[in-house]
Amino acid sequence: MLTIGTLAKKTGTKVQTIRYYEQIGLMPEPGRTEGGQRRYGNAELDRLSFVRHARQLGFSLDAIRELLDLSDHPGKSCAEADAIARRQLKQVEQRLARLEALRTELKRMVHECSGGQTSDCRVLEVLRDHSECLTEHEDIGA
Amino acid sequence: MLTIGTLAKKTGTKVQTIRYYEQIGLMPEPGRTEGGQRRYGNAELDRLSFVRHARQLGFSLDAIRELLDLSDHPGKSCAEADAIARRQLKQVEQRLARLEALRTELKRMVHECSGGQTSDCRVLEVLRDHSECLTEHEDIGA
DNA sequence: CTTGAACCTACAGTAGCTAGAGGATGTAGA
DNA sequence: TCTACATCCTCTAGCTACTGTAGGTTCAAG
């Protein structure tokens, strides 16, 4: 039987985060000691590992909820899980494209800084100059 | 004189976002009509363009506040602005590295999906199997 | 003068946690 | 057994960067 702290260490999660997952129904309510402290078993350890791994892959908590549901019903079609993963992959590729553009522009900004006064600063100039903006009025993703 | 809606369209910002920027002190309080509606000039248009551009480049609102401050004091050293941009570049490169790793793993998941039942699903298997996790206990960034 | 789009304030909600207060529990050593 | 103290508990508020809604007012065109 694991305390919440031990579970936290084993999965690289904060204690509060585990309680938060319980609160939003992503983790089940565990057993308690007489004094009211949570005690976990291996099933919970596996489930939390699944959740953390999926989070590291960028899945939203909602997507993870779906994946857990699929995982709980082994007879269901794999297609849904595949669709979720594909959606995730698409999002990741979009973010990559954006970030690569940002890197280019930031590099340019840094290289062109002459080290003088801010009035000559390319960093500020690039940000001021709207016409150099590559991606106009695009939404700002995370 | 621009209404808030026109300013929003010109900069690709939502009206509420402009009011929010005003509230947190990123945009100045503009002039008002007799009826109390906001009216903007070119200075505000420039400032908001600066903010949006910086946001698209991934700068936090705090970083933008610093940049605006530098921009408002043209005598200051450029080094600070440069430092902010460098910090930002570093973050972008870290995010890129993470996302590239994620893409690899997601691609593998998707390609290996056999199309059968969830009990054989590679997507779920990969998420379940902690040992295949490349990046253990790393923090989850945006 | 009327209509309707755009404006106003104020407040609540989003994701995904994180931090703190103030107090209870569990366990190891003396 | 007592004590110390790390860990646990609940509850609430805060974070970033917005977004949405309700209920009401103003502006400009026809």
Q: Is the CB of B115 under 7 A from strand D?
A: no
Put simply, whether B61 touches A (Cβ < 8 Å) is no
CA max distance for chain B: 69
Chain B partners of A14 at a C-beta cutoff of 8 Å? none
CA distances from A3 to A13, A42, A72, B109 (A): 13, 12, 24, 33
Q: Is the CB of B23 under 7 A from strand D?
A: no
**Per this entry, what is the length of chain B?**
142
Best A42, A52, A67, A78 residue to mutate vs chain B (most B CBs within 10 Å) = A78
Asked if the model's pLDDT at residue B10 lies above 80, the reply is yes
Are B119 and A74 an interchain contact pair (Cβ–Cβ within 8 Å)? yes
Residue B131 has, within 13 A of its CA and on its CB side, a CA count of 0
Token pair belonging to A94: 């979009």
Cα angle, residue B107 at apex, residues A53 and A91 outer, rounded to 5°: 75
Best B78, B98, B108, B131 residue to mutate vs chain A (most A CBs within 10 Å) = B78
CB–CB of A45/A2 below 8 Å?
yes
Q: What is the identity of the amino acid at B15?
A: V
Region class of A38: left (phi > 0), else alpha (psi between -120 and 50), else beta? beta
Which of B57, B119, B26, B15 is closest to A110 using CA atoms? B57
In tens, the pLDDT along A65-86 reads 988 988 887 767 788 888 888 8
Q: Is the CB of B17 under 7 A from strand D?
A: yes
Are A121 and B89 an interchain contact pair (Cβ–Cβ within 8 Å)? no
In tens, the pLDDT along A2-50 reads 999 999 999 999 999 999 999 999 999 999 999 999 999 999 999 999 9
| CA of A141 vs chain B CAs: smallest distance (Å) | 8
Nearest to B106 among A77, A92, A124 (CB): A92
In tens, the pLDDT along B116-127 reads 666 667 777 777
Q: What is the pLDDT of residue B82?
A: 84
In tens, the pLDDT along B84-116 reads 888 888 878 887 887 788 788 888 877 776 666
For strand D, the positions having any atom within 7 A of a protein Cβ are 7-11, 16-21, 25-27
Q: Closest residue to D9 by CA to C1' distance?
A: A37
Q: What is the identity of the amino acid at B26?
A: L
Put simply, whether B124 touches A (Cβ < 8 Å) is yes
For chain B positions 16-45, those within 8 Å of chain A (CB to CB) are: none
Helix ranges (DSSP H) in chain A:
4-11, 15-23, 42-56, 61-72, 79-111, 122-128
Q: Which residues, including other chains, have CB under 8 Å from residue B34's CB and lie 6 or more apart?
A: none
Token pair belonging to B56: 């698209």
Residue B31: CB atoms within 10 A of its CB come to 12
Are A113 and B76 an interchain contact pair (Cβ–Cβ within 8 Å)? no
- The yes/no answer to whether this complex scores an ipTM above 0.90 is no
Of chain A residues 83-142, which have a beta carbon within 7 Å of strand D?
Answer: 139-140
In tens, the pLDDT along B22-76 reads 999 999 999 999 999 999 999 999 999 999 988 887 788 998 998 888 777 766 6
The span from the CA of B4 to the CA of A80, in Å, is 44
To the nearest 10°, report the CA torsion of A63, A69, A74, A79.
-30
Asked if the model's pLDDT at residue A100 lies above 90, the reply is no
